[in-house]
Chain A
Amino acid sequence: SQTIHQWPATLVQPVGSPLSLECTVEGTSNPNLYWYRQAAGRGLQLLFYSVGIGQISSEVPQNLSASRPQDRQFILSSKKLLLSDSGFYLCAWSFQGNTEAFFGQGTRLTVV
């Protein structure tokens, strides 16, 4: 069976510090990978998605970036965090094509 791992679960970072969130998927190959952000009491905003190694589509211009160095690894990064980057970050994967996305447990990021 497939599993998705996302860490850390919570993170408190000062403004201006770098960020690296990692997500890995096991049990499948060539998945679509996604990073979403969720503000408190709001829906999920798509940040990045990837259909293959080195292929990243950005949905929202911002100071975040994503990379996919390996088939089942997806990394969300920032060089300098802003207060507005606080939120709940969710990694997800899906099979290719029109199928549901499976979510990790999320990372609660607080920028102080």
Chain B
Amino acid sequence: GESVGLHLPTLSVQEGDNSIINCAYSNSASDYFIWYKQESGKGPQFIIDIRSNMDKRQGQRVTVLLNKTVKHLSLQIAATQPGDSAVYFCAEKESGYALNFGKGTSLLVTP
């Protein structure tokens, strides 16, 4: 089936810098997108979502951008903190189907 993938498997940033995690998807019928954060040994936690009728959505320190033309999704984390270190997954969903996850990007925040 169609897949969701990530551009970079690992990302290292300094504390206080902004982080950008990218994701490409291939299913043009996907109309809902989510970013999850997963800490070691735990289940994924919801960060932020966006629907296909939007191109930007902001949360607390996080922003998700959606470019449907090139099927690209990004997660921006402002003022990255040590607690942000985790694996981040993008997921896409076509109406009537289950969430499809990408492989994940490991974010490491260094002091």
- Across the interface, which residues of B come within 8 angstroms of A6, CB to CB? 43
Q: Is the CB of B42 within 8 A of A46?
A: no
Instruction: Let me know if B101 is at the binding interface, CB within 8 A.
Output: yes
**Interface SS majority for chain A:** strand
Instruction: Let me know if A34 is at the binding interface, CB within 8 A.
Output: yes
Chain B nearest CB, measured from A24 CB (Å): 15
- Across the interface, which residues of A come within 8 angstroms of B43, CB to CB? 6, 90, 92, 103-106
Task: Identify the closest chain A residue to B52 (Cβ).
Answer: A98
A43-B102, A43-B104 known; A100+B34 contact, CB < 8 A: yes
Looking at the complex, which one of B31, B41, B44, B102 makes contact with A103 (CB distance below 8 Å)? B44
Q: Is the CB of A101 within 8 A of B99?
A: yes
Q: Mark A87-102, 1 if CB is under 8 A from B, else 0.
A: 0001010100111111
Chain A nearest CB, measured from B2 CB (Å): 13
Q: Is the CB of A106 within 8 A of B46?
A: no
Docked complex Cα distance between A100 and B44 (Å): 11
Q: What are some 17 contacts across the A-B interface (CB < 8 A)? A: A36-B101, A42-B103, A42-B104, A43-B104, A44-B89, A44-B101, A46-B99, A46-B100, A90-B43, A90-B44, A97-B95, A98-B32, A100-B49, A101-B34, A101-B99, A102-B46, A103-B43
